[in-house]
Structure 1
Amino acid sequence: MSDPVIGPRQAPLRTAEVARESGYSVQQVRDLERLGVIPPAARAGNGYRSYAPLHVHALRAYRGLAGAVGPVIARQLLTELRTGTVTEAASAINEVHVRLARERGESLRAQQALRAIQAEADTPEFEQDAERDSDAMTITELSRALGVRSSTLRFWEQEGLVTPERVTSLRARRYDLSAIRTARIVAALRSAGYGIPAVREIVGSLHRLDGAQEAQRVLRERLDRIALRTVGLLRAGTDLAAVVTAAREPAAV
């Protein structure tokens, strides 16, 4: 894919040329224009669309942003980049990088938590302690230990993620060591950004012989996806800069 000429060449671009330079189809270019991803194209006397190099930059920038944070947020960001100040635009782009870094950090912490929990479960002391009632926790104690609300634990129970024991006529919840271990894994995965269905699948796999390995595999795949999203955002850097610059220099569009 060749770079469009921004300097000497200012000739209008046809829809097919914009599609070729941006990597989108002609119909996608029109759809993305309709959605506001790129500014409205000028119209020639014959009614045909007439684009500028800025449109190509905006489409490439959108590809990188959409891969990093999703299409909806990417559309919002491009609007901000075109309408805000340079400081605001730079801050918005920086926030995307921060978001990806935060997701990576959360996934790494979840990965470390799973390793620690698995190492703990593999010790003879864990099996011995699992039989002692004194090591069980109430819902209040467990919520404090995990840093979540009691209502969150009840929600996880409703979703089949963590199953406590019930004692006394008041049906008070009690969590044995096995349930506590599962709750810790759920908390680690949720903090890493996993949705309930994904967490349910991973927790279900823990009961198999390869459960811990499967959970680690899922986290490694997430880290790989975050890395790809980050690289895509980096590749879009020049195009993002062109969008920000052109928005403040109308004569260059």
Structure 2
Amino acid sequence: MKTRLRPADLAREHGLSTQAVRNYERDGFLPPAARTASGYRIYTEVHASALRAFLALVSAYGHATAGGIMHAVHDDDVGRALTLVDRGHELLLRDRETLNTVRKAIGHLTTGPAPEPAPAGWSIGEVAHRLGVTAATVRAWERAGILVPSRNRATGHRLYQAADIRDAELTHLLRRGGYPLARIATVVEQVRTAGGTEPLAEALETWQDRLTARGLAMLDAAGRLNAYLVSRS
């Protein structure tokens, strides 16, 4: 006979309230519980395994994806559940690749030659020549919100300062890496907000730590999910 467990038994292991356990069952994250003649829920080790799996999946993939995985399992659609797991790993890999590309770009900017000072700023043609691109390309970066040059009040011509050159060089490197302008705009804004590449380099280390933690959480979640699938068989 399977060991009978109360909601409090499941809740205690994870520091949850008994109501939270009931809510997880109601929402389909746990399999339905049997009831006593008086209406009390009867949980088993299978429910305990489901709760461990769900909470581990939340840590690894977020609440929505974790819920989707558990719903798929309870619909006996393991393929759908594994597809959601695969998408999470795909996103993690993409984030790692983005991190490595940005880190290389930042490293190039901090070790490469700094732009020579110009009292009034560089013209769009000078920026384009420096990067080996066309002026139309530089204008496209501006339309995407990546570059925000000042203007000469008398002529209306664009004036690019040292920070603009830095942003343009970073944009050029990321474009060569195949990144779309929308994602580049986000990265450049981070550089601009941080006040330069050095603070961003420090932020990248924190980003790396988060990715590592997410990867380890996915490993733990995989083991917990597998244990739950085995308990259901």
Question: Fold-level match, TM-score > 0.5?
Answer: yes
Aligned-residue Cα RMSD (Å) equals 3.7
Equivalent position to 1:141, from 137, 143, 146: 137
Distance 2:20 2:135 in 1: 52
Identity of aligned residues (%): 27
In structure 1, what is the equivalent of residue 93 of structure 2? 101
Residues 139, 175 of structure 1: 8 Å contact kept: no
1:35 CA displacement: 2.9
Pair 1:153–1:70, CA change in 2 (3 A): farther
Matched with 1:233 is 218
Aligned residue in 1 for 2:145:
156
Q: 1:17 aligned to 2, 9, 29, which one? A: 9
Mapping of 1:1-253 within 5 angstroms? 10-120=2-112, 123=113, 126-127=115-116, 132-133=122-123, 134-137=125-128, 140-142=136-138, 150=140, 153-154=142-143, 156=145, 162-166=147-151, 178-183=163-168, 185=170, 200=189, 202-206=191-195, 211-246=196-231, 249=233
SS of equivalent residue, structure 2 residue 214? helix
For residue 91 of structure 1, give the secondary structure of its aligned residue in structure 2. Answer: helix
The 1:79/1:217 distance shift into structure 2, 3 A limit, reads: same
The whole-number CA distance in structure 1 between the counterparts of 2:184 and 2:40 is 46
Structure 1 residues 169 and 78, CA, compared in 2 at 3 Å: closer, same or farther? Answer: farther
Aligned residues: 220
Aligned to 1:4: none
TM-score by length of 1: 0.69
CA distance 1:204–1:94, shift in 2 (3 Å): closer
Aligned to 1:12, the other structure's residue is in SS state: coil
Unaligned runs of 5+ in 2: 129-133
Do the aligned residues in 2 keep the contact of 1:114 with 1:185 (CA within 8 Å)? Answer: yes
